Amino acid sequence: MSAAALRFRAAAMADVDAIVALTQTAYRGDASRAGWTTEADLLDGQRTDAGEVAEHIAHPSSLIVLAEADGVGRDTPLACCHLERQGESAYFGMFSVRPAAQGNGTGRALLAEAERIARDEWHCRALRMLVIDVRAELIAWYERRGFHRTGEYRAFPYGDPRFGIPKRDDLRFEWLVKDL
């Protein structure tokens, strides 16, 4: 699948289950090991749930963007991300690419679409995101796309199974920022 054959659209409530499945497949469990974005060595359990996804879709300052392949049904998005307007910045999260679609430009294309929406439609000046700071390869990928590390951290929510079940005791999030 080439990124040129992608189309983007805003997620609807009918997409909730497909988004949950996609996000779980991209980050957790053995299926996620087929791609390079897996968190399977760091976390077990869920990555998101239907309630969180539905809340993002329903929130007026929030959007889940889906990347789909031409000719493939709506129930199998290749990638998704969550955007939320937060003043002059947009939060970028839940960035999930189906493991079989990783490494072919799908993620880059979706990130570019998210940046376009935040910059051109929402008139934001920056894109902000949280990344688990031990994910050096992933952080390097974002740095190659113009993000920079801020040195600002947020504690990992140990004991809250909504964020997964940690396999390590040294997890924390770091804010990454890209000027738009």
Helix (H, G, I), strand (E, B) or coil at 25: helix
Residue 50 has pLDDT above 60, yes or no: yes
Q: Give Cα separations from 165 to 8, 19, 93, 136 (angstroms).
A: 32, 20, 19, 20
CA dihedral 24, 114, 176, 86 (to 10 degrees): -100
- pLDDT the model gives residue 71: 63
Q: What is the C-alpha separation between 4 and 53, in angstroms, rounded? A: 27
Q: Is the model's pLDDT at 35 over the cut of 90? A: no
pLDDT in tens, 18-31: 999 999 988 887 77
State how far the alpha carbon of 62 is from the alpha carbons of 54, 57, 89, 126, in Å.
11, 7, 12, 16
pLDDT in tens, 123-163: 999 999 999 999 999 999 999 999 999 999 999 999 888 88
Tell me the domains of the chain and their CATH numbers.
Answer: 3-129 (3.40.630.30)
Q: What's the mean pLDDT in 61-88?
A: 88
pLDDT over 60 at 3, yes or no: no
